[in-house]
C-alpha cells in the first residue's frame, strides 16, 4: 500500500499517542510474527531498551504450541524485569488485538509478577 497505513499501523499510532514509558513505569512492547513472539521493556524518555525476551533467542527453551511459548516468553520477560528492578509497566499491544498470543504473553508476564 503506497501512501496508506495498514490497519495495524493506524491502531498502533493511536495507541502510542496515549502510551509512553518512563523510568518509573517503562513500556512493555510486544511484536508478533508468524514464527515467534518478542517482548521489550522500553524507557521512552531515555530512548533505551531495558530488558528483552524472544521465543527465538538462545536463552529461551520451550517446546509446545505458539500460545504456550507466548506464556513462557511473558514469564521470562517478567523474570528479567524483576532482576533489573522493574515492578510495574505500561502494556503496549503494538496495534495487535488483545487476543490469542498477545493475551497469553500478558498473562504470563502477570503470572511472573509484573504489574499492569
Indicate which CATH number applies to the domain containing 61. Answer: 3.30.420.100
- Residues 6+ positions from 42 with CB-CB distance below 8 Å: 21, 26, 27, 28, 29, 48, 49, 50
Q: What is the pLDDT of residue 76?
A: 95
Match 493506524 to its residue by C-alpha cell: 10
Task: Give the number of domains in the chain.
Answer: 1
Query: Residue 115 carries which DSSP code?
Result: B
Task: Report the pLDDT value the prediction gives residue 71, as an integer from 0 to 100.
Answer: 96
Strand partners of residue 48: 43
pLDDT attached to residue 2: 52
At 3 the pLDDT is 64
Q: Is 59 helix (H, G, I), strand (E, B) or coil?
A: coil
C-alpha cell at 39: 517482548
Report mean pLDDT in 10-residue bins for the chain, 116 residues: 78 90 94 96 96 92 90 96 96 95 98 96
Asked if residue 74 lies in contact with residue 104, where contact means CB atoms within 8 angstroms, the answer is yes
For residue 79, give its domain range. 3-112
Calpha distance 16→13 (Å, rounded): 5
pTM confidence score = 0.90
DSSP secondary-structure letter at 113?
T
Q: Answer yes or no: are the C-beta atoms of 12 and 93 closer than 8 Å.
A: no
pLDDT at 59: 81
Q: What is residue 5's DSSP assignment?
A: -
Amino acid at each position: 500500500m503506497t501512501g496508506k497505513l495498514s490497519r495495524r499501523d493506524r491502531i498502533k499510532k493511536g495507541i502510542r499517542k496515549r502510551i509512553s514509558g518512563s523510568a518509573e513505569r517503562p513500556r512493555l512492547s510486544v511484536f508478533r510474527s508468524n514464527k515467534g513472539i518478542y517482548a521489550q521493556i522500553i524507557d521512552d524518555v531515555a530512548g533505551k531498551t531495558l530488558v528483552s525476551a524472544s521465543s527465538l533467542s538462545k536463552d529461551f527453551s520451550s517446546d509446545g504450541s505458539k500460545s504456550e511459548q507466548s506464556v513462557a516468553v511473558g514469564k521470562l520477560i517478567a523474570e528479567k524485569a524483576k532482576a533489573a528492578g522493574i515492578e510495574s509497566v505500561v502494556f503496549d499491544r503494538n496495534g495487535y488485538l488483545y487476543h490469542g498470543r498477545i493475551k497469553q504473553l500478558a498473562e504470563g508476564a502477570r503470572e511472573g509478577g509484573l504489574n499492569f
